[in-house]
Amino acid sequence: MSLVLVMSALSVLLLLLVSVPGSASQVPPHNETARVARYVAHHCDWGALATISTHQPVVGQPFANVFSVSDGPHHSGTGVPYLYLTAMEISVQDLQVNPNASLTLSLAQTPYCRKEGYDPQSPLCAHIILSGSIQQVEGSESDTAKMALFTRHPEMKDWPRDHNWFFAKLNITNIWVLDYFGGIKTVTPEDYFSAKP
Ligand SMILES: *[C@@H]1O[C@H](CO)[C@@H](O)[C@H](O)[C@H]1NC(C)=O
Ligand SMILES: *[C@@H]1O[C@H](CO)[C@@H](O)[C@H](O)[C@H]1NC(C)=O
Ligand SMILES: *[C@@H]1O[C@H](CO)[C@@H](O)[C@H](O)[C@H]1NC(C)=O
């Protein structure tokens, strides 16, 4: 085999290796809505968390803010969105008054939608809205949360200690999925947690 052939075979192999994570082929079919929801929840490293503001001049109004999230290390997602929070944070102060919140996650936050040419508002650029309440996690679940977050967000371990960080999760009560034409779909938490992502 000529050197050129070997080189091009190698570059094809390299391309295959590089393009596998997050590739289009991995997004579950749109009729398997619970699996799509788990896929989106696992592949997004951050999301917009909406709280009811307690801060002037927008008291009582919706307030969406960016948070790093993780439902587990790569390829072992639990479906539970974990967060690393401090009471110094403006949205966390809202949550202390009213823990109800919604978390929006979109494949626009991964290379997928740009690669496919899907606008973030297109239903083909799958996105989910999870609502429920934010709860601090304790005991062994805080180890799970720590593993989930620190593997995906390595700089978290160096965040200032005097900020009193704690681990939390969204206790999901409602799930909406936009992954195709024909309107938004809902998935029950039971179907979501039992789905194979
Ligand atoms: C989704 O569609 C595929 C092919 O159209 C079909 O084989 C599969 O059973 C469907 N899955 C569900 C959950 O409806
Ligand atoms: C949070 O949401 C639940 C369920 O929708 C509702 O029953 C509860 O009153 C809400 N809590 C607050 C503080 O608004
Ligand atoms: C999650 O929220 C539901 C509905 O508000 C509630 O019944 C349940 O106790 C909560 N789960 C935990 C672990 O607190």
Q: Is 7 inside any structural domain?
A: no
Q: Is 4 inside any structural domain?
A: no
Q: Is 16 inside any structural domain?
A: no
Q: Is 149 inside any structural domain?
A: yes
Ligand nearest to the CA of 185: 1
Please give the number of the atom of ligand 1 that sits closest to the Cα of 31.
Answer: 1
Task: Say if residues 187 and 175 touch (Cβ distance below 8 Å).
Answer: yes
- CB distance 29 to ligand 1 below 6 Å: yes
Q: What is the CATH number of the domain that holds 146?
A: 2.30.110.10
- The DSSP secondary-structure symbol of 162 reads G
Average pLDDT of adjacent 10-residue blocks, the chain of 197 residues = 47 42 69 97 98 98 98 96 97 98 97 96 97 97 97 96 96 98 97 94
Q: Is 129 inside any structural domain?
A: yes
Q: Is 165 inside any structural domain?
A: yes
Count structural domains, the chain.
Answer: 1
- The DSSP secondary-structure symbol of 97 reads H
Give the pLDDT confidence score for residue 197 in this predicted structure: 78
- CB distance 76 to ligand 1 below 6 Å: no
- CB distance 98 to ligand 2 below 6 Å: yes
Closest-CA residue to 77 (of 157, 134, 166, 147): 147
Q: Is 144 inside any structural domain?
A: yes
Count of other CB atoms within 10 angstroms of residue 182: 8
CA angle 115, 33, 182 (to 5 degrees): 80
Give the pLDDT confidence score for residue 26 in this predicted structure: 86
Ligand 1 center–CA 38 separation, angstroms: 17
pTM for the model stands at 0.87
Please give the number of the atom of ligand 3 that sits closest to the Cα of 132.
Answer: 2
Q: Is 15 inside any structural domain?
A: no
- CB distance 32 to ligand 1 below 6 Å: yes
Ligand nearest to the CA of 34: 1
Distance CA 22, CA 35 (A): 15
* Residues of the domain holding 53: 28-194
